[in-house]
Amino acid sequence: MIRIARERMSDLFALARSESARGGGTLPHRYVFLARRIGMRFNLRLPPEYRTLYCRRCSSYWVEGRTVRTRLRAGRSVRTCLVCGAPRRVELHRHPRVDGPEENFRRIAATPQEPALAGEPEEGDDPDDGEEE
């Protein structure tokens, strides 16, 4: 039953996508709404790839420029639903810079770059550790 519900949810999102590519109307919103309702009925999360595709307030299927506007500000992405106006803010940097940009750049430059060229086995740092049996 759970498996069927999952399939139904991704089917509905595929439908919403193809329908909005054809011009839309209210059908994509309806499909998203149904997919979310199935999720609530069976206590299932939406797969992560679908979670950014719709408005959480009004279930609009989001198409950039048509039903959603995305603006970047201060390390966040702010997506505003153009149907109901609800904003959705997403933090862009999970691991923020600790010491400011210069220190961050220095740290990146200091990390040893491994060329990892094929056909040039180097001795010393052997990545095949643990493969001997």
Identify which of residues 20 and 60 has a Cβ nearer to Zn ion in the complex. Answer: 60
Q: Provide the residue type at 26 as one letter.
A: T
Q: Provide the residue type at 119 as one letter.
A: G
Identify which of residues 57 and 89 has a Cβ nearer to Zn ion in the complex. Answer: 57
The distance of closest approach from Cβ of residue 36 to Zn ion in the complex, given in angstroms and rounded to an integer, is: 13
The distance of closest approach from Cβ of residue 58 to Zn ion in the complex, given in angstroms and rounded to an integer, is: 3
Q: Which residues bind Zn ion (CB under 5 A)?
A: 55, 57-58, 60, 81, 83-84, 86
Identify which of residues 9 and 32 has a Cβ nearer to Zn ion in the complex. Answer: 32
Identify which of residues 12 and 32 has a Cβ nearer to Zn ion in the complex. Answer: 32
The distance of closest approach from Cβ of residue 124 to Zn ion in the complex, given in angstroms and rounded to an integer, is: 57
Q: Which H or E run contains 120? A: none
| Token code pair at residue 129 | 């550790």
The distance of closest approach from Cβ of residue 102 to Zn ion in the complex, given in angstroms and rounded to an integer, is: 41
From residue 84, alpha-carbon distances to 8, 41, 65, 111 in Å are 26, 25, 14, 47
| Token code pair at residue 131 | 């493969």
CB atoms within 10 A of CB 33: 18
